Amino acid sequence: MNNEVTIHDSADLICFSHLRWGFVWQRPQHLMSRFAKQRRVFFIEEPEYVGTAEPHLNTQVCPKSGVNVITPQLPEAMRGSDVSAVLKALVEDLMDREYIRKYVAWFYTPMALDFADKFTPDVTVYDCMDELSMFRGAPPQLCANEQKLFKKSDLVFTGGASLFESKRNHHPHVYAFPSGVDVAHFAQARSIRGSMHEHKEIPRPRLGYAGVIDERMNLELIRDIAAKRPNWQIVMLGPVVKIDPSTLPQASNLHWLGMKNYSSLPEYFAGWDVGLLPFALNEATRFISPTKTPEYLAAGLPVVSTPIKDVVKPYGELGLARIASTADEFIVACEQSMAYGMSLKWRRRLDAFLETLSWDDTWGSMNRLINEALAAKTEKPSVMVAG
């Protein structure tokens, strides 16, 4: 794909995100890092409430990507109050200070419209990576804000096929961009020898999960697998959010190792025998498209998942992942995965499929659509002159 810079790449990009830049490295970080190679990117996080200082913006430049990470700092006394006017003033000051004139507004959360509704970007993008209204603690006005964002947006991207089906009738320009994968990064796991220090005391077989651990996890399933196969070691990587850590099942063969750097994930994956996607089937997982599916596969790991729609199709249907619902089904699927491994024929078919999921290609397609929208906005209408 031709991703050459065009004249429209001079437009800055302001991204409004509900996820923090320093959180799990996922879709926002992959895409914004690539945009930052061509245009200035300002990644505006949700506010932090600290101390008593006057409202201000904390700005840091990500050394890895060059993205400007902007975190509003508000006094603790403002927590729970309407801070829309304060946030609007802070962002307007940022735009003046950085001389942001021509820009793309990119929304991950419709709630940012509470303070960004009156801004006048050249192009507005809504990248709907999750159905946030179904997540625990979702603001009651989120659905109404999303409808406003549909009306304001020039382009709507979705994080998977099921989300696309859900949103396609809400806007004339909706495009499905499922989870991509940095194949070269995760393929390192296929040739890594040795083991991470945290694996030294954990015998094989090791079955692992990497990602956010929240209300989307089927904790009962994890508990049952660990109990029924005490010789299997289940390694869980990722931050625990929105659920009480005390509710995590505990067993000698269950290892909760916390959040790890994206750069170190191939080393962990190299020491596993199966990649797990033990998601619950609930409202929060109805539209998810797990990024770990292609990442596990790129690392050379067989995948076993609960029947998440965007895993069943295409991965299950193509024979690239095994699908299981109960603990017993999971155990059988994992046993099959470890017994049969990855044949050369299977790996070639897998790698051909993964080539279609490059983050570079995903970004390139999005960038082209944005540039086309910018061009359409700046084209001057023809003027008819009377003869």
CATH entry 3.30.160.270 includes domain 7-177+358-372:
no
Domains 7-177+358-372 and 183-341 share a fold: yes
Partners of 258 in beta bridges: 237
At residue 3, the pLDDT reads 47
Pairwise CA distance, residues 299 & 295, whole Å:
6
Domain boundary assignment for the chain: 7-177+358-372, 183-341
Q: What is the DSSP string of 100-129?
A: --SEEEEES-GGGHHHHTT---SEEEEEE-
The band of 268, judged by pLDDT with boundaries at 50, 70 and 90, is very high
Q: Which long-range contacts link 94-98 to residues 24+ away (Cβ below 8 Å)?
A: 94/42, 94/57, 94/70, 95/14, 98/12, 98/40, 98/42
Q: What is the pLDDT of residues 165-196, one digit of tens each?
A: 889 998 999 999 988 899 999 999 999 987 78
| Residue 374, CA distances (Å) to 63, 161, 363, 367 in order | 29, 26, 16, 10
The band of 246, judged by pLDDT with boundaries at 50, 70 and 90, is very high
Beta-carbon count within 10 A of 112 CB: 25
At residue 137, the pLDDT reads 73
Secondary structure of 214-249 in HEC code, one letter for each residue:
CCCECHHHHHHHHHHCCCCEEEEECCECCCCHHHCC
Q: What is the DSSP string of 237-294?
A: ES-B-SS-GGGS---TTEEEEE---GGGHHHHHTT-SEEEE-B--SGGGTT---THHH
Is 188 within 8 Å of 309 (Cβ atoms)? no
At residue 193, the pLDDT reads 85
Pairwise CA distance, residues 48 & 57, whole Å:
10
Q: What is the pLDDT of residues 309-347, one digit of tens each?
A: 999 999 999 999 999 999 999 999 999 999 987 777 888
pLDDT at 159 over 50: yes
Amino acid letter for position 104: V
Angle, vertex CA 229, rays to CA 224 and CA 232, nearest 5: 115
Mean pLDDT of 368-379: 90
Instruction: Name residue, tokens 């209408």.
Output: 381
pLDDT at 16 over 60: yes
| Residue 378, CA distances (Å) to 7, 190, 314, 363 in order | 12, 48, 39, 22
Mean pLDDT of 122-149: 87
Closest alpha carbon to 11 in 135, 158, 124: 124
Q: What is the pLDDT of residues 111-120, one digit of tens each?
A: 999 999 999 9
> Which homologous superfamily is 183-341 in?
Glycogen Phosphorylase B; (3.40.50.2000)
Helices (runs of H) and strands (runs of E) counted in the chain:
13, 15
Beta-carbon count within 10 A of 98 CB: 16
Q: What is the mean pLDDT of the chain?
A: 91
Four-residue CA torsion sign, 92, 96, 102, 107: negative
Which residues have CB under 8 Å from 207's CB, separation 6+? 225, 232, 233, 234, 235, 272, 273, 274, 275, 276, 334
Kindly report the length of the chain: 387
At residue 383, the pLDDT reads 42
At residue 340, the pLDDT reads 82
* pLDDT-wise least confident of 2-6, 14-18, 256-260, 282-286: 2-6
Q: What is the pLDDT of residues 28-57, one digit of tens each?
A: 999 999 999 999 999 999 999 998 889 999
Pairwise CA distance, residues 314 & 352, whole Å:
14
pLDDT at 357 over 70: yes
Phi, psi angles (nearest 5°) of residue 8: -85, -5
Q: What is the pLDDT of residues 183-232, one digit of tens each?
A: 999 999 999 987 788 998 999 999 999 999 999 999 999 999 999 999 99
